[in-house]
Homo-oligomer: A and B are copies of this chain.
Amino acid sequence: MRIGVLGTGMVGQTIATRLGELGHEVKMGSRSAGNEKAVDWASGASEGASEGSFGDAASFGEVVFNCTPGAASVDALRMAGPENLSGKVLVDVSNPLDFSKGMPPTLSVCNDDSVGEQIQREFPDARVVKALNTVNASIMVDPSQVPGSVIFVCGNDDAAKAEVGELLQSFGWPADDVLDIGDIAGARGTEMYLPLWLRMMGALGTPSFNIAVVR
């Protein structure tokens, strides 16, 4: 499959690399084509890896991953262009962490809204699925580190959620560990979990953890 990955940070690089390993053609997108980190990634990654602008990557992808920082995601997707997102599954992995007021970070949006909802409102023809934002990048693509733990998906389009579920299974997430928490407003839940995640990371002394459901 052709997949566009927007964002050149740790999350974008990790997901793009894993998708390439799985045999997908991946184009990493950034603010401008020729971004140093994207060029480095493309030159070192699997065959079929390339880079370009947000618009190039979104246009290229049959599926698009948003791995830009949550507070900047709507702007990044505007640059990508609504016409390049229309009808496509858009996997929103972002978190709206705001470090501008010091540590711990606050969220740039929460409570009665979320980045996932902002994106779906701004791009009504995209099929937005919020996923993967509750674990660190390494675990996103290698859940064998945290067997039996849960990964959340939410979105308004059931078929899109099913497609994302298959991608998650290809990353190694067992179908039984993918928990569908409903429509895109569920993104409030997974984004607002971040402050607890950060505290747990501090208490456990590692970002390599996840939560499991016990009932």
Contacts and interface: CB of A to CB of B under 8 A. Distances in A.
Contacts of A149: 214
A211 B204 CA distance: 15
A214 B198 CA distance: 15
Contact of A195 (B146, B148, B180, B189): B189
Contact of A192 (B112, B147, B148, B196): B196
A152 B211 CA distance: 13
Contact of A212 (B106, B185, B189, B214): B214
A196 B193 contact: yes
B211 A212 contact: yes
23 contacts: A106-B111, A110-B192, A146-B214, A146-B215, A147-B214, A152-B199, A179-B200, A181-B196, A181-B200, A182-B199, A188-B195, A189-B199, A189-B200, A192-B192, A192-B193, A192-B196, A193-B196, A200-B213, A206-B215, A210-B214, A211-B211, A211-B213, A212-B214
